[in-house]
Amino acid sequence: MQHDKVLIVDFGSQYTQLIARRVRELNIYSEIHPFNKIPTNVDDYKAVILSGSPMSVRSDEAFHPDLKGIRGEKPMLAVCYGAQYLAHFSGGEVAESNTREYGRANLSFVQENEPFLTGISVGSQVWMSHSDTIKKLPTNGKLLASTHDVENAAYKIEGETTYAIQFHPEVYHSTDGKQLLENFLVQISNVTPDWTPNAFVEETVDALKAQLGNDKVVLGLSGGVDSSVAAMLLHKAIGKNLYCIFVNNGLLRKNEFTSVLEQYEGMGLNVKGVDASARFLDALAGLSDPEKKRKAIGRVFIEVFDDEAHQIQDVTWLAQGTIYPDVIESVSATGGPSATIKSHHNVGGLPDFMKLKIVEPLKALFKDEVRRVGASMGMDKNLLGRHPFPGPGLAIRILGDITAEKVRILQEVDAVFIDGLRSWDLYDKVWQAGAILLPVNSVGVMGDERTYEKVVALRAVESTDGMTADWVDLPYKFLQKVSNDIINKVKGVNRVVYDISSKPPATIEWE
């Protein structure tokens, strides 16, 4: 079954992904494409949204999209830069703003009997984020809404199905933003909102069956949400022809290898657990530099995985749990992430010598959608709600070199912290949590004895995608209890500290 699709033209705004998410929350499938790589098959899209941008339309380098086949021919909603773009280059005027136009504002005028604004009224809160302002509407522009500081907050172009708004409907602070998107997409553009997790599962399974036939597929499970949901989809499509490999690198959480393996078996997956802990620890011996540690782990993983994959006769596909943000990052309007800060993440993956074809059943989904798809297949809530955990695992939470004893200490500390979060009902309120073993000893006193033992840091952050993060204000009582438990139960640790740095300027992991 074909679903209506929405095209989001990206001008590099920090909020572009949010637009796609909000649209998808309406059960409407949307795709982001950079303004300079708009797909040629625009007819496949039922409506178009132009995003915001850090760029000014008054700049010599202003971004110029090619709107052939779109402007005046399809319903189009222009947000922020998009709205200014239409004004500036179509008979209106944009100038530098002399009042601050950032943050919350309230609508002071709303055009009545305008379908685009159904359910939206004077007083409705909107989120502004711009330094230019629209002084004069473009030719045939008709004012639809204003705020106290921004007269031209929303307009339409008469004779076209073109709407423009200066504020950001995709940001939660625009309290009626979702309603506005629904007005535009469902009421005005006649998009059918039928892109549900169940529909996704059904169609993906059918497509995988057609694509893979009787071929064999190998997939590396990590215990994380993405690889687990990818495995479940493939399992539904091809059953025993999916060969899952779950490698224990010895740097997982305490008891994780056995408990997750059991869970996978319980799901009916054809999974092989490979305990390669010793091989990883050997490769890491004496390495202290974070990037060298990551590379060593990456290399051994590929070796182990490749050995295992070779034991499966006639395997021709490699499945990966790549998700949509990984895909759009690599083609973004502004050329992807600004700098490589850490050589991380599961990219760069396939070693040449494996020569397998790639299948990526989740590559159209955001993380929260992956969870919803998993839930619609009846997967366990605990598995779907797990915090992200880095591929190199505890290796990048043991600062400096790694030994089996350090891994043991950190696994114990981490288990006390994570179990504590669960029993205090805090686990699901935190995006990611873990403990870090510091490469220093500190003096302590236990009984009458002086101790000289390890210091551990606890880290808990809130985030939506890991790109930015804030430390979580965990209750003091909880921290007190966890700290006591750690020092009393974990031999070798005599001090616990709590990390109160946000990202940026810090990162989530310490290495």
462 is an active site residue:
no
Q: What is the C-alpha end-to-end distance of the chain, expressed in Å?
A: 46
Q: Which is nearer to ligand XMP, 254 or 294 (CB)?
A: 294
The Cα 242–Cα 250 span in angstroms is 25
Q: Strands 357-359 and 315-319, how do they pair?
A: parallel
Expressed in percent and rounded to 5, the helix, strand and coil fractions of the chain are 35, 25, 40
The Cα 294–Cα 103 span in angstroms is 40
CB of 508 to ligand XMP, least distance (A): 3
Q: Which of 305, 454, 472 is CA-nearest to residue 391? A: 305
Q: Which is nearer to ligand XMP, 80 or 394 (CB)?
A: 394
Q: Is 2 exposed, middle or buried (0-12, 13-18, 19+ CB in 10 A)?
A: exposed
Q: Which of 126, 12, 7 is CA-nearest to residue 59? A: 12
The Cα 220–Cα 360 span in angstroms is 12
DSSP codes joined into one string, 215-239 = -EEEEEE-SSHHHHHHHHHHHHHHG
Q: Which is nearer to ligand XMP, 82 or 390 (CB)?
A: 390
80 is an active site residue:
yes
Q: Which is nearer to ligand XMP, 130 or 294 (CB)?
A: 294
Q: Which is nearer to ligand XMP, 151 or 303 (CB)?
A: 303
SS3 at position 186: helix
CB of 368 to ligand XMP, least distance (A): 15
Per the rule left: phi > 0, alpha: psi between -120 and 50, beta: everything else, 12 is left
Helix or strand holding residue 456 (H, E): strand 449-462
CB of 202 to ligand XMP, least distance (A): 30
- DSSP letter at 31? E
Choice among 3, 130, 168, 387 that is catalytic: 168
168 is an active site residue:
yes
Choice among 101, 170, 256, 511 that is catalytic: 170
The Cα 175–Cα 126 span in angstroms is 7
Taking each helix axis from N to C terminus, what angle separates 197-212 and 367-376, rounded to the nearest 10 degrees?
90
Choice among 33, 80, 101, 412 that is catalytic: 80
CB of 496 to ligand XMP, least distance (A): 20
Which residues is 103 bridged to in the sheet? 128
Q: Quote the tokens at residue 2.
A: 């074909």
CB of 305 to ligand XMP, least distance (A): 15
Q: Which is nearer to ligand XMP, 110 or 302 (CB)?
A: 302
CB of 503 to ligand XMP, least distance (A): 5
Chain residues in the site for ligand XMP (CB under 6 A): 294, 342, 344-346, 388, 390-392, 396, 432, 466, 503, 507-509
Q: Which is nearer to ligand XMP, 397 or 495 (CB)?
A: 397
Q: Quote the tokens at residue 212.
A: 């893979």
CB of 387 to ligand XMP, least distance (A): 8
Residues serving a catalytic function are 80, 168, 170
